[in-house]
Amino acid sequence: MISTQSVKPAFEQAYVKLMMDVIGRGLVMASQVDDEVKYEVSKFPVGFTLSMTVFPYGPAFVAQVNDQQQLTLIKSPSAKPDLTIMFKHMHHAFLVFSFQESTAQAFANDRMVADGDLSYAIRLVRCLNKMESLILPKVIAELAVKQYPNELNLKEKLSGAANIYLKVAQSYFTRSA
């Protein structure tokens, strides 16, 4: 008989793995289509690598700033990433990715750590917040981000979300991301 104690961690890990992939791809695509995310990414140096992972060997994504000042996903960095955002436990990542706890609250609760320059970590969080504000329904986005952008109108939200979702879907078919 399968116990719920063994199913829950397996479900959480599968869910976090899927969300990590979607967030990585979404961030890459937002760096191509959203002006605010483009601006933030342009402040990272070319070749800058960032990662988000779950300690110790959980799901992760690694992205790098290319010559066009956009993010691209990479399979494995040649060196330690310049910035790593690490969840201390799979359940902590699950709380954030299931919108039970915001990223800001997870940091405040010491559930995740940033390894790298703090100013770059703040810049990355701004990128993630904008991407999440665009692609998530407002009621969910308000749970995910510290402050939902008041200036984000419905037209911009729908247009941005459509562009990002289309590019994310295409990346699954082309496997180029």
| Cα–Cα distance for residue pair 23/125, rounded to 1 Å | 12
Three-class HEC string of 92-133: HHHHHHCCCCCHHHHHHCCCEEEECCHHHHHHHHHHHHHHHH
Domains and CATH numbers, the chain: 4-167 (3.30.1050.10)
Distance (Å, whole) CA 144 – CA 99: 5
pLDDT tens-digit profile, the chain (177 residues): 454 555 688 899 999 999 999 999 999 999 999 999 999 999 999 999 999 999 988 899 999 999 999 999 999 888 999 999 999 999 999 999 998 888 888 888 999 999 999 999 999 989 998 988 888 888 888 878 778 888 888 888 888 888 888 888 888 887 644
Q: What is the pLDDT of residue 167?
A: 87
CB-neighbour burial class of residue 14 (10 A; exposed 0-12, middle 13-18, buried 19+): exposed
Give phi and psi for 148, each to the nearest 5.
Answer: -70, 135
Look-up: residue for tokens 């990662």? 51
Rounded distance between C-alpha atoms, residue 32 and residue 49, angstroms: 17
